[in-house]
Chain A
Amino acid sequence: MEHSQILKMIHTQKLGRLFELCPAIRLFFSGIRLERLDTEETLEEALQGIADEYLEDFGLTRGEISDSLVRLMEKDRDEKSGEQVAVRELTVLPGLDKSGNAEQSGFTVRRGEIVAVVGPTGSGKSRLLGDIECLAQSDTPTERSILINGEIPDDACRFSLGGRLISQLSQNMNFVIDLSIRDFLTMHAQSRMVERVDDRIEEVFLCANRLSGEPFQMDSGVTQLSGGQSRALMIADAAILSNSPIVLIDEIENAGIDREQAVRLLAEREKIVFLSTHDPLLALSADRRVVIRNGGVYRVLETSRRERSNLAVIEREDRKLMELRRSIRLGGRLDFDMEAFFHGVQGSA
């Protein structure tokens, strides 16, 4: 829909119709305590009974109100048309390490691929994620450049999308909002303009429960969730409700969730996933891993066939640890033959 069409609609349609087309308009009016406008009237008619002084208290004129509604509808339209940039692949061009030496190599990641970023603490993993987050163009300390679909992203893409290209998840993130999971997910779904809100939030909820070892209820408060439950909900939400094509994850290994399934879930949704990690299970689940040393990309390793088959062994051992964790949680004792449990012929707890 063109700007002129939207402008015309704002001035000719009944308010009720505008609310239907763009729910944010209703919220805009409730933000200035005008919930009870007559929905059978047009904007001009409905605002006739409202004094200029009243609007002035909110820093608004009539002109600014109609201007705001046009912007809201345009933003809605852009949001609904999906990602403004369909990201098929992302390329990191080499820059400099901390000593100013040129990096060995860059790399390209395609939609649906997972890349692990590994390296000692303080080596510069977060800095790489930071460069990706701001789509660096030789203008960060590393002087790396990021290409989207093989091209330099324009300034509009870099600075005006409001970070909608990229979602981020990290160990330090928490829920701070005082709402139930249902209300919170509904709020998020509405802000993303998704259709069939109830189905989608049910999907997020079920998925989060699968990822988390400990089940939780739809009516629990989001702030009451354990660390693992929170992480599970964040990942399920990022996969299903958030439409950012690129996801950056910073160290989720200690979260006590099914982390392999979690990253798979994101990749299945055709996202590009970057995963900063120290965890061999996660590193080998990735399609490749970028090794950072002294602030620069030191090597890019494809996960080899041998590593993939070894992953099965790591997973098996990891499941055993999960089993022990579950047993502890349920009040069990771990006084059986641990040697046999880990190294025996399929020992059992």
Chain B
Amino acid sequence: MKLITVSGPPSSGKTSAVLQAVRFFPQNVRFGVVKFDCLSTCDDGIYQKSGIPVRVGISGNLCPDHYYITNISEAVQWGLNNRFDYLISESAGLCNRCSPHIRDVLAVCVIDNLSGINTPQKIGPMLRNADLVVVTKGDIVSQAEREVFSFHIRKTNPRAAVVSVNGLTGQGALALSKWFERAKEIDSLEHMRLRFTMPAAVCSYCLGQTLIGKEFQMGFTRKMEF
């Protein structure tokens, strides 16, 4: 089974881009999706409508990144049990420090042209460590802005390929499907490594503290300079 990690800010068009790419595969190629989200998601319904088996993981009050990494092995097992040809792990990088990408697993980051010219820099590791950056919503901004935007992506992650995909019409999704084909086969994630460390946080607030003030701050914290 080929595993692909797809990340990107909320509403950047991850689900649409994936679905458009899947259309370019023959009917007998089996896809499965595991969707990681924080509070709620309705993307599972969208996948199901397209006949793609999906499992949803909601991290709730846990750090979404830590939740993801402690569940992805089981997700892979679920995919293997179901004899999928492809398993897509879709997650939103909610704190922008999140990066689900794993070494030797095709890493895709989806961002949209409307998100602002400096966004590629702000997103950080999930874009910086991707093999492929998918840019969506190009149909509503000017050619010049698309070019400037992909320049900013290149500057932030010179190693990635940039593909423009229209999630509504599927334009560009063929190229994305070709990238999917290049993903490596895996049969387990045991002893594989993340490309980047997860955000660290073990402090009193992780454990449910709600009071504000110095005496309530315990554990791993960092102070701003003023």
Contact = CB atoms under 8 A, between A and B. Distances in A.
A44 B40 CA distance: 46
Nearest to A25: B155
B142 A134 contact: no
Nearest to B127: A59
A47 to B, nearest CB: 17
Query: Interface majority SS on A: helix, strand, loop or mixed?
Result: helix
Interface stretch (A85-93, A110-118, A235-243): A235-243
Given A28-B155, A59-B99, A159-B178, A174 B141 contact: yes
A24 B152 CA distance: 9
Interface string A271-287: 00000000000000000
Interface stretch (A65-73, A300-308, A309-317): A65-73
Contacts of A163: 163-164, 172
Contacts of A159: 161, 163, 175, 178-179
Nearest to B120: A31
B156 interface: yes
Contacts of A177: 117, 145, 148
B140 A59 contact: no
A59 B196 contact: yes
Contact of A126 (B24, B99, B169): B169
A162 B163 contact: yes
Contacts of B172: 133-134, 163
A298 interface: no
A287 B121 CA distance: 45
A182 interface: no
A219 interface: no
A167 B182 CA distance: 27
Interface residues of B, number: 43
Interface residues of A, number: 49
Contact of B140 (A27, A174, A234): A174
B141 A175 contact: yes
B125 interface: yes
A172 B140 CA distance: 6
The 10 closest A-B pairs by CB, nearest first: A71-B158, A59-B125, A191-B151, A159-B175, A31-B121, A59-B196, A72-B158, A167-B143, A162-B162, A59-B128
Interface of A: 24, 27-28, 31, 56, 58-60, 67-69, 71-72, 75, 126, 130, 133-134, 136, 139-140, 155, 158-160, 162-163, 167-170, 172-177, 184-185, 187-188, 191-192, 230, 234, 237-238, 241-242
Interface of B: 24, 99, 113-114, 117, 121, 124-125, 128-129, 138-145, 147-148, 150-152, 154-159, 161-164, 169, 171-172, 174-175, 178-179, 195-197
